[in-house]
Amino acid sequence: MTRQKLDVAALDALGALAEARGWRAARDAMFRGEAINTSERRAALHTALRAGGSRLPSPAPAAVRAEVAATLERMAHIADAVETGETAALGLPETVTDVVHVGIGGSDLGPRLAVEALAPYHTGRVRCHFLPNVDGDATSTLMRRLDPRRTLVLLVSKSFGTQETLLNGRALRAWLVAAHDGDAEAAARHFIAVSANVEAAVAFGVPRNHVLPMWDWVGGRYSLWSAVGLVIALAVGMPRFRELLEGAAHMDDHFREAPWQDNLPVLLALAGIWNRNALGYPSFAVIAYADRLRELYAHLQQVEMESLGKRVRADGGALADATVPVLWGGVGSNVQHAFFQALHQGTDVVPVDFVGVVRPDHALADNHDALLANLLAQAAALALGKTREEALAEASAGDAAAREALAVQRTFPGDRPSSVILLDALTPHSLGMLLALYEHKVFVQGCLWGVNAFDQWGVELGKTIASAILPALDGDAEAGAAFDPSTRALIEAIQARREAR
């Protein structure tokens, strides 16, 4: 259900634009595995990862489908072994009670969201922990709390070159080696890696038969459907993981079959384009009225902003329009008591996607009714607002001038757009559908804006500078001299305070 500020004529014009930009041909090229990620000369074939759950024949290359099937089999062996406690047969530790998933960005956000969202489906065989950040706080806390002999570490990095992941991996390796009295081989049994760079994972010390593949045709932010999602399979079991894939595949089928007028990803995309380009709204919020979807907006931040945060067209030409709005969000009803004031009466209009769940996984019906009532109320309040006359009728105290002043404060402009997405229940299947819905929304917007939604050159510069700063922080004066005055001053301030201790 949407309350977008679009009339039929505007929607038809946007649909005609999508048709003129060839969204259907572009979509089919993606599903076929053409190199649509032109700057990296790669396919974007995340849909092939879930094609097994599709009703439609997959146009992805047979070799790709075979690799996907083989990898799913390997994941199933591992997940089944963890569930039955027969891990030793796979060269893993005899007992596994805890799994630490080490990875960042796309190698973290999607899997973490899914593991949290599917809590009622957890088998309970293992506890799952996530270690995305290079901040040593979380790493050292985990090393204090967990029993290394019963811990399985998943090193998840498409490139196997990500600083945060490698540093945490090294810290955990040292912890495991120490727990095995210096026996590196025994410690290596605790590692599984998921990477497109198998040789780097092996060089790190992960046994070759513990490395699951990734491929250059899967973007990090689209990778939870691959072995990157092994932690999901460990948490909920492989049959549930396959249901997640199936849900996504059903959304793929809908995206492939439905005309734009009925096509949910296309309609979401067109509403977003209208809000951004016709109405000029600079941001967009996703509010889930479900605690278990608390990480949804964070995952979508990467899916939308890393994909569409581009300032030139895929062919290098200048863009005609602004691209991705800032995506932010949180969990309702908590955020009603935080930033909703600004959504209702602030000077900027922020379109909202409300995500709700009709049937909860608990018996507290009163709580759930209140949750849904809040969702519906917020969408209605944003749309309808409250006129000055209505506010005036409510203001009883004081003289006419005071009542008038109060009424102005209590007026809501309304006419603020939102969409409501309701899941029947939060299951592996519906979660798969929801996440694929947004992936395809992004695809359509990329198509209309003419940008490459599958590269992310904008994250490279900071990484390069951080590598160069490291030796300067360690006291290499020559390295420090190369930086701009602000960076130099900050490095010196940090060094001075370290020395002062």
Ligand X SMILES: O=P(O)(O)OC[C@H]1O[C@](O)(CO)[C@@H](O)[C@@H]1O
Number of residues that bind ligand X (CB under 6 A): 14
Question: Which residue out of 86, 199, 394, 463 is catalytically annotated?
Answer: 463
Cis peptide before 140 (omega within 30 of 0): no
257 catalytically annotated: no
H/E segment holding residue 460: helix 460-473
User: Which of helix, strand or coil describes residue 231?
Assistant: helix
Tell me how far apart the terminal alpha carbons of the chain are, to the nearest angstrom.
59
Q: Which of 37, 87, 107, 323 binds ligand X (CB under 6 A)?
A: 107
Q: Which of 15, 53, 93, 105 binds ligand X (CB under 6 A)?
A: 105
Tokens 């932690």 belong to 231
146 binds ligand X per the rule CB under 6 A: no
Q: Which contacts of 173-176 are long-range, i.e. CB under 8 A and separated by 24 or more positions? A: 173/204, 173/205, 175/143, 175/148, 176/148, 176/151
- The CB-of-254 to ligand X minimum distance in angstroms stands at 26
200: how many CB neighbours lie within 10 A of its CB?
Answer: 17
Q: Which of 37, 157, 226, 445 binds ligand X (CB under 6 A)?
A: 157
DSSP, res 306? I
- The CB-of-393 to ligand X minimum distance in angstroms stands at 53
- The CB-of-155 to ligand X minimum distance in angstroms stands at 9
310 binds ligand X per the rule CB under 6 A: no
> Half-sphere exposure of residue 28, counting CA atoms within 13 Å on the CB side?
6
> Residue 71 or 157: which CB sits closer to ligand X?
157
- The CB-of-77 to ligand X minimum distance in angstroms stands at 23
* Paired sense of beta strands 2-3 and 418-425, if any: antiparallel
> Residue 151 or 168: which CB sits closer to ligand X?
168
- The CB-of-310 to ligand X minimum distance in angstroms stands at 14
Dist CA 256 CA 218 (whole Å): 19
Nearest alpha carbon to residue 158 among 464, 389, 471, 454:
454
Q: Which residues in the 159-178 window bind ligand X by CB under 6 A?
A: 159, 162, 165
Dist CA 346 CA 343 (whole Å): 6
Q: Which residues in the 213-252 window bind ligand X by CB under 6 A?
A: 220-221
158 binds ligand X per the rule CB under 6 A: yes
459 binds ligand X per the rule CB under 6 A: yes
466 binds ligand X per the rule CB under 6 A: no
Nearest residue to ligand X by CB is 220
Q: Which range touches ligand X (CB under 6 A), out of 42-50, 74-82, 126-134, 152-160?
A: 152-160
46 catalytically annotated: no
276: how many CB neighbours lie within 10 A of its CB?
Answer: 22
Dist CA 402 CA 412 (whole Å): 18
Question: Which residue out of 250, 306, 310, 439 is catalytically annotated?
Answer: 306
**Interface residues with ligand X (CB under 6 A)?**
104-107, 157-159, 162, 165, 220-221, 306, 456, 459
Residues that are catalytic: 306, 337, 463
